[in-house]
Structure 1
Amino acid sequence: MTAESQAYERSLAMLRRCLSPAGFLGSPSDVDNYARIWARDGIISGLAALASGDASLVDGMRRTLLTLAQHQGLHGEIPSNVTVDGKQVSFGRLVGRVDALLWYVVGVCAYSRHTNDTSYKEA
């Protein structure tokens, strides 16, 4: 196996370790709140999942989008992060985080184009 193939397989293995029932975690280690569904990290992982074509990883992108959609704020804000159990949702502290919505839109567009699945939109 080439070094490139080994790196690719290690990358897929890392994505699998970050999978949770609610989508992609920022980290498989529960350090400094990273064992949460983070909008930016989850969507970036999801883009890699789409590129891989691995069905379980692609489903991880769908679950990430669902989790973020199910915890939208009253005005449509996308949370920056959500715990796997959905009990803690963060939109930022004194200063709101604006990149979550941008990454969410990127994720929705990429997932829809790749899979033609729009069922998550009903969430």
Structure 2
Amino acid sequence: MRKSYKLALPAVVAAGLLTIPGALTSPASAASAGTAASLALTLDGGSCEPLARRFLCSVAFSGAVAPAAIRWFVNGSQVPAFNDRTFVGIGCQPTFRYDIRSVISDATGASVEFRTSAICRSGNP
């Protein structure tokens, strides 16, 4: 069964205005568009907590244009199993120093980096 709908003239006129660029731009929407454009990828925090034979590492970021990618490196080698994770557990050998790095990049090509160097602990946490 076919249904017909009647549209009121104001609705048709409003729909037509929506297709005209800038027809309904308000100062508030212009301000929010400017704010969105000024956001940039930033590293909000990062840490690696040494536990017994393990580091618990996390990164936090904001302003990324999707899709964002997170890559983790341990002693210069990328660890693909940790790709796109903000929190990872990295096993380690006690008394050895580890260089841990996380690189976050977004669709615009912007990137930020968290880097730390720590000695692996032995024993109980």
Q: TM-score, normalised by structure 1?
A: 0.27
Q: TM-score, normalised by structure 2?
A: 0.27
Structure number with the higher strand fraction is 2
Structure number with the higher helix fraction is 1
